[in-house]
A and B are shown apart, each in its own frame.
Chain A
Amino acid sequence: MALTGRQSLFAALTGSLVAGPALAIQPYNMPVGVTETSRTIYDLHMLVFWVCVVIGIGVFAVMFYSIWKHRKSRGHEAAKFHESTLVEFVWTVIPFAILIAIAVPATKAMIDIEDTADSDMTVKITAYQWKWHYDYLDDGVSFYSSLATPRDEIYNEAPKGEHYLLQVDNEVVLPVNKKVRFLLTANDVIHAWWIPDLAVKRDAIPGFVNEMWTRIEKPGVYRGQCAELCGRDHGFMPIVVRAVEQDEYDKWVAEKKGSVAGGASTTGNPEVTTTSGAVDDSGDTDDLAAEQDRNHDA
């Protein structure tokens, strides 16, 4: 492991720091995403960003002009003024007006995001340390979904695959162009379900049922992760959504119903510790054997 560690370190150093700039730049902005919500949020994000850029350029231009020109080494004499009611009034009112201009689209977006009415289907998401359980309330499909990246890759004993840490044993399959309502809860601690491309993020909280919705416009595979610190393997409970056309979705449902729902994870989290006894409270016990089979040795 030490050897492979060093080799990959070397590869990383030479690959990313030297040859890196010649290659593609890794993602650095919010994805535009594949839902109306994600585009709205992206536009809002860029709007506020450009507002900040303009204000920043204005303020820093004045500051750096002053730093350049009004220095003692250039023989500049200090002025004596120390207040100006007009100037102070202006620079209090202008930001206020800008804020209102931002608040209007933000309020519209917020109202839309919170409107979970008229959904076409509902998926209940239950979070566990450290995996997800999905329950398709209308179609009667339910299963667990946990990390599918092999331990060897995590511990640098095997080369890392393309979707390292962002792959699961059972993907969430959803139809495109349908308003999908999610109900979120958790069984042990607080988790959060986040997929950047769909611009959905909501906490899954024990004792609460939270709601959110999405309408995916483009078939594809969308990946995300748990966003709320939930213990040792917080970084190892990814989410994968596969969006498909309606007929393909129907086929998938039929297939799922035919087989036994709730696949046990074969690979998974690096050494699960015994910090949580809460999993035992689960009503769905079909996966507990797999949970207990894991290495409990820290």
Chain B
Amino acid sequence: MSAVTTHDDAHHEEHPSGIMRWITTTNHKDIGTLYLWFSFAMFFVGGTMALIIRTELFMPGLQVVDPQFFNSMTTLHGLIMVFGAVMPAAVGLANWMIPIMIGAPDMALPRMNNWSFWILPFAGFMLVVTLFLPGGAPAGGWTMYPPLTLQTGDAFPFLIFSVHLLGMSSIMGSINIIATILNLRAPGMTLMKMPLFVWTWLITAFLLVAVMPVLAGAVTMMLTDKYFGTAFFTAAGGGDPVMFQHIFWFFGHPEVYIIVLPAFGVLSQIVPVFARKPLFGYSSMVYATASIAFLSFIVWAHHMYTVGMPLAGQLYFMYATVLISVPTGVKVFNWTATMWRGSMTFETPMLFAIGSIVLFTLGGFTGLMLGVAPADFQYHDSYFVVAHFHYTLVTGAVIGIMGGVYLWLPKWTGRMYDEKLGKIHFWLTMIGFNLTFFPQHFLGLAGMPRRIPDYALQFTDWNMMSSVGSYIFGFAQLILVYVVIKCVRGEGEKATNEVWEGAEGLEWTLPSPPPYHSFTTPPEVK
């Protein structure tokens, strides 16, 4: 950005360089990049914890870690992956792509954008530093159920405030996304012309604004229970431990859609590009997304079938839960119909998209199984659940987002990524992921509870397979680091504006990489 222009807006091009550029930036592309790098770093922190878990579980007996530390690992792995890796990655994509997809010059609230990112590293630090506090890191599970979580040592307030900060960051990010989409669309870009990624993010942002304060409320009540003598969740004081679960899952169920919907948006961008055919059923995709979002608010107690709800309650939550498979099915059918009679090529983004759709569908099937309340008495809190949510969240969200990274990396950096490495990354990810998580279905059905550091002998073989798979899956991700760094350093073929033959949309009309400020005069959308 050294080019000095005589243009009236030239002062916009001046910004600090070096570290101050990143600390003070209000530019959506810079902030998007920050989000993505932060998320990538946290992905490896959380991933390392997963590998510690899988190493301990490689065989029966306690070999590597103490059971309390093991519980801290499962707890932090969950919190870091959800709040530190997946959600910031989705916000990073939103920051980068939404303005250039709708023809806006930047996000609507750029200063808040800076603030919402820069809260994150501190929140992440507060969470990770608990590992070094007396009493150890939180070990009550990422769901933080009391009374167990109230037994946390000095790490407890750190956990609560970290969740508060992460929530504030998410709320600010969401408000910004809503304000941007509703106010800054280019002339002619009506709501029903928006790219589907923008639609899924608009809906996700509303979910976030609705449920993050609920989580903040729940953890604050727990904080006052611990330090200020209240008894919201303590039975001995007349409180109700189950109430926490209801409040938590009122946040927690929409949260899983918060994680997965932006990735669904990414998939809906990728498939038409490589099928060279418009997305099938655009409007039904929008309605399906909205239905999923609505249903996500009224199914929360299916996470708690075993707490002893009244029969009518269990039946209601069962019916509402299985209903979600209808709009989710519509999405999968639409993607398949988009591929049907297309002219497909299989570059890395398309491979990731297909992998994501196929494996997410498997996660959807186990979701239907889990939704059936009587059967859930056997599945609940077993490894079957672990397999299920990794099939939905890792393949639906993480692998979907990686597809987006490959799709847009040439746009962001101006360089084509290494296709051969991308394909190797894809196949190793598929093999590693399935080897890790498919056997966990068997473990859960055979009766292995989740969150245990040691297990009975009949679970040995599947656990070993799973641990071997986890190493393949984990180390394969280093390939992505290398691929990204190569592009960032300007190695590789120069990317054109369109990048992909089948690409359509405003973002592909900009140069690759796009100028620091794009669409300073709004484009006209027909």
B-binding residues in A (CB < 8 A): 5, 8-9, 12, 16-17, 20, 25-31, 40-41, 44-45, 48-49, 52, 55-56, 59-60, 62-63, 66-67, 70-73, 76-84, 87-88, 91-92, 95-96, 99, 102-103, 106-107, 109-111, 113-114, 153-156, 160, 162-166, 188-190, 192, 194, 196, 199-203, 205-208, 210-211, 223-236, 270, 273, 275-276, 278, 281, 298
> Are the C-beta atoms of A12 and B460 separated by less than 8 Å?
yes
A56 to B363, CA, bound (A): 11
Contact residues in B for A26 (Cβ distance below 8 Å) = 442, 446, 458-462
With A48-B372, A56-B361, A66-B341 already in contact, the answer to whether A276 and B151 are too (CB < 8 A) is yes
> Are the C-beta atoms of A227 and B380 separated by less than 8 Å?
yes
A84 to B354, CA, bound (A): 22
Nearest chain A residue, comparing its CB with the CB of B68: A232
With A59-B332, A114-B314, A226-B449 already in contact, the answer to whether A189 and B63 are too (CB < 8 A) is no
Minimum CB–CB distance for B237 against chain A, Å: 9
B277: which of A79, A87, A194, A273 is its contact (CB, 8 Å)? A79
A88 to B281, CA, bound (A): 8
> Are the C-beta atoms of A103 and B318 separated by less than 8 Å?
yes
> Are the C-beta atoms of B311 and A72 separated by less than 8 Å?
no
Top 9 closest A-B pairs, CB basis?
A: A207-B235, A235-B452, A28-B442, A27-B446, A52-B365, A210-B308, A196-B447, A109-B374, A78-B343
Nearest chain A residue, comparing its CB with the CB of B344: A71
Minimum CB–CB distance for A295 against chain B, Å: 13
Nearest chain B residue, comparing its CB with the CB of A28: B442
Write out, one digit per residue, whether chain B residues 318-352 have a CB within 8 A of any chain A CB (1) or not (0): 11001101100110110011111111111000000
Minimum CB–CB distance for B59 against chain A, Å: 5
> Are the C-beta atoms of B452 and A110 separated by less than 8 Å?
no
Contact residues in B for A196 (Cβ distance below 8 Å) = 378, 446-447
Contact residues in A for B340 (Cβ distance below 8 Å) = 62, 66, 70, 79
Chief secondary structure at chain B's binding surface: helix
> Are the C-beta atoms of A164 and B147 separated by less than 8 Å?
no
> Are the C-beta atoms of A227 and B449 separated by less than 8 Å?
yes
With A88-B284, A156-B63 already in contact, the answer to whether A206 and B343 are too (CB < 8 A) is no
> Are the C-beta atoms of B442 and A160 separated by less than 8 Å?
no
Nearest chain A residue, comparing its CB with the CB of B235: A207
> Are the C-beta atoms of A234 and B241 separated by less than 8 Å?
no
With A78-B277, A82-B281 already in contact, the answer to whether A71 and B378 are too (CB < 8 A) is no
B 38-79 contacts with A by CB, 8 A: 58-63, 66-68, 71
> Are the C-beta atoms of B66 and A202 separated by less than 8 Å?
no
Contact residues in B for A88 (Cβ distance below 8 Å) = 281, 284, 330, 333
> Are the C-beta atoms of A91 and B330 separated by less than 8 Å?
yes
Minimum CB–CB distance for A66 against chain B, Å: 5
A30 to B141, CA, bound (A): 25
With A72-B276, A153-B61 already in contact, the answer to whether A49 and B369 are too (CB < 8 A) is yes
> Are the C-beta atoms of B457 and A160 separated by less than 8 Å?
yes
Once A and B bind, how many residue pairs between them come within 8 Å at the CB atom?
Answer: 312
Minimum CB–CB distance for B467 against chain A, Å: 11
B 458-475 contacts with A by CB, 8 A: 458-462, 464
> Are the C-beta atoms of A165 and B378 separated by less than 8 Å?
no
Nearest chain B residue, comparing its CB with the CB of A199: B378
Minimum CB–CB distance for B245 against chain A, Å: 9
> Are the C-beta atoms of A228 and B381 separated by less than 8 Å?
yes
Q: Known pairs A26-B459, A82-B281, A225-B449. 15 more at Cβ < 8 A?
A: A40-B374, A48-B368, A72-B343, A95-B329, A99-B323, A156-B63, A190-B148, A202-B377, A206-B235, A225-B447, A226-B449, A229-B145, A232-B71, A234-B452, A275-B68
B282: which of A25, A83, A155 is its contact (CB, 8 Å)? A83
Mind listing 27 A-B residue pairs with CB under 8 Å? A5-B61, A16-B464, A26-B442, A30-B378, A31-B446, A41-B375, A41-B377, A44-B372, A48-B368, A70-B342, A76-B343, A78-B277, A78-B341, A102-B372, A106-B318, A154-B61, A156-B61, A156-B63, A189-B148, A196-B446, A196-B447, A201-B306, A205-B242, A206-B235, A224-B447, A229-B450, A270-B67
> Are the C-beta atoms of B345 and A235 separated by less than 8 Å?
no
Contact residues in B for A206 (Cβ distance below 8 Å) = 147, 235-236, 241
Contact residues in B for A201 (Cβ distance below 8 Å) = 306, 377-378, 380-381
Write out, one digit per residue, whether chain B residues 276-290 have a CB within 8 A of any chain A CB (1) or not (0): 111111111000000
Contact residues in A for B20 (Cβ distance below 8 Å) = none
Minimum CB–CB distance for A293 against chain B, Å: 20
With A29-B442, A60-B358, A232-B71 already in contact, the answer to whether A205 and B344 are too (CB < 8 A) is no
With A28-B462, A231-B148 already in contact, the answer to whether A164 and B378 are too (CB < 8 A) is no
> Are the C-beta atoms of B314 and A162 separated by less than 8 Å?
no
Nearest chain B residue, comparing its CB with the CB of A228: B381
A83 to B352, CA, bound (A): 25
> Are the C-beta atoms of A205 and B307 separated by less than 8 Å?
yes
Nearest chain B residue, comparing its CB with the CB of A167: B456
Nearest chain B residue, comparing its CB with the CB of A163: B456
> Are the C-beta atoms of B336 and A66 separated by less than 8 Å?
yes
Contact residues in A for B135 (Cβ distance below 8 Å) = 275
With A155-B62, A163-B456 already in contact, the answer to whether A63 and B326 are too (CB < 8 A) is no
Contact residues in A for B357 (Cβ distance below 8 Å) = 63
> Are the C-beta atoms of A190 and B241 separated by less than 8 Å?
yes
A228 to B307, CA, bound (A): 10
> Are the C-beta atoms of B382 and A155 separated by less than 8 Å?
no
Nearest chain A residue, comparing its CB with the CB of B75: A229
> Are the C-beta atoms of A200 and B333 separated by less than 8 Å?
no
Minimum CB–CB distance for A268 against chain B, Å: 13
A281 to B235, CA, bound (A): 12
Name the residue among B235, B280, B382, B461 with the largest chain A CB count within 10 angstroms: B461
With A91-B330, A207-B241 already in contact, the answer to whether A72 and B61 are too (CB < 8 A) is no
> Are the C-beta atoms of A200 and B343 separated by less than 8 Å?
no
A211: which of B308, B333, B346 is its contact (CB, 8 Å)? B308
Minimum CB–CB distance for A37 against chain B, Å: 8
Contact residues in A for B281 (Cβ distance below 8 Å) = 82-84, 88
A278 to B461, CA, bound (A): 37
> Are the C-beta atoms of A235 and B455 separated by less than 8 Å?
yes
Nearest chain A residue, comparing its CB with the CB of B318: A106
